[in-house]
Amino acid sequence: MKLLNRTTLLILFVQGVAAQTYQSPTAIHQAADGQSLFIASRTGKQIKQLHKETLQVNTWLKLPAEPSGFVMDGDRMLITGGGHNGRVWMARNGEIFQTLETGHTPTSPVLSPDAKTLYICNRFDNNVSFIDLHSGKTLAQIPVRREPIAADITPDGRYLFVANHIPDGRADVDYVASKISVIDTQTRTVKTIPLVNGAEGLRDLKLSPDGKKVFATHLMARFLVPTTQLERGWVSTDALSVIDVESQTLQYTVLLDDVDQGFPNPWAIGFSNDGKMLVVSSAGNHEISLINLTALSEKVAAEAAANSGQAHLNAHNNLSFLSGIRKRMKLKGNGPRSLVVDGSTVYVAHYFSDDVEIVHISKDWKTTSTPVALDAKQPVTQVRQGEIYFNDAGLCFQNWLSCATCHPDARTDALNWDLLNDGIGNPKNVKSMLHAHENPRAMWLGVRADAYVGVRAGLRHIQFAVRPEKDAQAIDAYLKSLTAVPSPYLEQGKLSAAAQRGKKIFSSAGCINCHSGPYHSDHGMYDMGTAKGLDEGLPIDVPHLTEAWRTAPYLHDGRAATLQDLFNEFRHGDKYGNVSALTPEEKNDLIEYVLSL
């Protein structure tokens, strides 16, 4: 029996120590008494408690599913999580006392100032829930733009500002950007604030302590130029946009990078108690920036005065705009995706190193830090290492970008990019990495034979780096471990009646001719008559349809914003089928089916 146990352990070790439990902290807040911090551990499915004085860590609450965020209401904690089975868990004294249902992948819970209403971003339902905390009932679900991922509310409770993660609309146009939604909580109407061109990958949004400004972190994609170099942020830069609360307009956007080093994948935002210092984290380069807000406001005002009030038109192209008014600090941990500021101390939760780094800031902004582990150190499996590399801009020349810059959460950024692997002047839409290794051809024109080749080419020709083969193998392992998120169009996990009708139409209308097999792709290449310009007449790879609900815009160049546009305006499916012959009702059923995959 001892021999069997040793053999089993050896097999587990050889396979990469398969059974590891990481904490992956995704949110951090102070306890009501100010003596401790609470940390939501996503993959650990726990709420951890860190005592400030003793630095001891204990498990405060075990959860039935992965948490995404939480908010404190005195001694009551309101926790969102559960992914497609969206839940709000209400806990007190380390025990859940009530559970509420909410939307698909709930995140960023926000409490109204009177603590009567909870607002939740339902990321993949593209809406925000209003939940009455007295009755536990959902009062409304307000549609916003695409993938609401962070929110904050004005001090009077009137306006809820919501960050939409990636752009909606078609990608083959000159302006593509994510947007901020503003919900009037009284009238439940929505206003949309467009961000500057190329703004995408929003991660955090917070109001300033005085309630006058809204700050949002995001990427600045330079998608209109070919990816010939990385110097000076040629391909991607990283930014902070500032919204004026009173006018509900974009005031300015400022770059967080330096001339010769990116501040990749900006994420968490925090403010000092007096509102004079802004703290922003770089999840891709494991840093924080300490920004003098007073000096920033003065510089923006001076810029606006010199440019007829249009400060944001210059600041978002100026890599030295923050020079002299901010300090960058390299952290000891990996993956700073959440932080909280308490006086002169910043507590940074690291997603990949499973710790909280305590950063002490002196009056002259000198910094020291101490990491505190959230759990016993776990061996790093190949899959975990691949996920780390995928999100790490340290692999990239001058740290400008990571794989996750264009493939957030290993999916798509909804943009077109002009890569050099198939010529210049023919941009293509970014593919999701889900099932990439199970489907041949990593590029729309088939210039990369498969995802194995694509991963290695990406490191060399997109990140301009030479890496050991083991790094690429780890990324392969991570991508192959990805699993599909259940579609928000499913009903109780099953096809709706409309989708069931659409499944039959999918065959009768000829979609099955190309979209066959377990991934709804025959792995072929066809001239669909959609390629134009330098690509005219060339065959296009048949994409798989898993998570098609998440991969808009459609076609190789993203010209179809929706599946309705795909079939009605661009008549997709007519060359090898007869989709145009369908009635409007039949098309709707077909679309319902495809969006349910």
Write out pLDDT tens, residues 488-498: 999 999 999 99
3-state secondary structure (DSSP) of residue 194: strand
Write out pLDDT tens, residues 139-149: 999 999 999 99
3.30.360.10, 1.10.940.10, 1.10.760.10, 3.40.50.410: which CATH number matches 384-480?
1.10.760.10
CB atoms within 10 A of CB 120: 29
Question: What's the pLDDT score for residue 496?
Answer: 98
Of 339, 304, 553, the closest CA to residue 429 belongs to: 553
Question: Mean pLDDT over all residues of the chain?
Answer: 94
What percentage of the chain has pLDDT greater than the value 90? 91
With beta carbons less than 8 A apart as the criterion, state whether 100 and 87 touch: yes
Q: What is the mean pLDDT of residues 460-472?
A: 95
Q: Is 337 exposed, middle or buried (0-12, 13-18, 19+ CB in 10 A)?
A: buried
Residue 20: pLDDT band (50, 70, 90) is confident
Domain residue spans of the chain: 23-376, 384-480, 497-594
Nearest 5°: phi and psi at 279? Answer: -120, 130
With beta carbons less than 8 A apart as the criterion, state whether 181 and 121 touch: no
Residue 313: pLDDT band (50, 70, 90) is low
Question: Would you say residue 391 has pLDDT above 90?
Answer: yes
Question: Would you say residue 46 has pLDDT above 80?
Answer: yes
Question: What's the pLDDT score for residue 459?
Answer: 95
- The residue count of the chain comes to 597
Distance separating alpha carbons of residues 582 and 51, to the nearest angstrom: 63
Q: What is the mean pLDDT of residues 197-202?
A: 97
Of 291, 261, 433, 267, the closest CA to residue 351 belongs to: 267
Kindly state the DSSP code that residue 320 receives in the 8-state scheme. Answer: T
Question: What's the pLDDT score for residue 301?
Answer: 87
With beta carbons less than 8 A apart as the criterion, state whether 382 and 189 touch: no
Counts for the chain of helices (H) and strands (E), in that order: 10, 32
Question: What's the pLDDT score for residue 311?
Answer: 54
State CA 304 to chain mean position distance.
31
Of 201, 227, 94, the closest CA to residue 149 belongs to: 201
With beta carbons less than 8 A apart as the criterion, state whether 168 and 561 touch: yes
Write out pLDDT tens, residues 52-65: 999 999 999 999 99
Residue 309: pLDDT band (50, 70, 90) is low
Distance separating alpha carbons of residues 246 and 159, to the nearest angstrom: 10
Question: What's the pLDDT score for residue 18?
Answer: 52
Of 293, 248, 250, 246, the closest CA to residue 269 belongs to: 293
Which architecture does CATH list for 23-376? 7 Propeller (2.130)
Phi-psi region of 464 (alpha: psi -120 to 50; beta: other; left: phi over 0): left
Q: Is 226 exposed, middle or buried (0-12, 13-18, 19+ CB in 10 A)?
A: middle
Q: What is the mean pLDDT of residues 71-76?
A: 95
With beta carbons less than 8 A apart as the criterion, state whether 46 and 23 touch: yes
Distance separating alpha carbons of residues 240 and 128, to the nearest angstrom: 23
Establish whether domains 23-376 and 384-480 are of one fold: no
Residue 8: pLDDT band (50, 70, 90) is very low
Please list the residues that pair with 119 across neighbouring strands: 110, 130
| Stretch (H or E) spanning 77 | strand 76-81
Distance separating alpha carbons of residues 378 and 360, to the nearest angstrom: 27
Q: Is 311 exposed, middle or buried (0-12, 13-18, 19+ CB in 10 A)?
A: buried
Q: Which fold has domain 497-594?
A: Cytochrome Bc1 Complex; Chain D, domain 2 (1.10.760)
3-state secondary structure (DSSP) of residue 462: coil
Question: What's the pLDDT score for residue 304?
Answer: 79
User: Which residues, at least 6 apart from 166, have a Cβ–Cβ distance to it below 8 Å?
Assistant: 146, 147, 178, 200, 201, 202, 408, 412, 413, 414
Kindly state the DSSP code that residue 491 receives in the 8-state scheme. Answer: B
Write out pLDDT tens, residues 112-139: 999 999 999 999 999 999 999 999 999 9
Question: Would you say residue 19 has pLDDT above 80?
Answer: no
Question: Would you say residue 16 has pLDDT above 60?
Answer: no
Question: What's the pLDDT score for residue 312?
Answer: 55
Of 43, 6, 13, 567, the closest CA to residue 352 belongs to: 43
Lowest mean pLDDT among 86-100, 178-192, 566-580: 566-580
| Stretch (H or E) spanning 390 | helix 382-390
Burial letters 55-81, b for 16+ CB under 10 A, else e: eebeebbebeebbbbbbeeeebbbbbb
**CA dist list (Å): 113 to 90, 116, 156, 439, 524:** 18, 8, 7, 50, 56
User: Which residues, at least 6 apart from 49, have a Cβ–Cβ distance to it below 8 Å?
Assistant: 31, 36, 37, 38, 39, 57, 58, 59, 60
Q: What is the mean pLDDT of residues 570-579?
A: 90
Distance separating alpha carbons of residues 288 and 331, to the nearest angstrom: 7
Question: What's the pLDDT score for residue 358?
Answer: 98
pTM (global) more than 0.85: yes
Question: What's the pLDDT score for residue 353?
Answer: 98
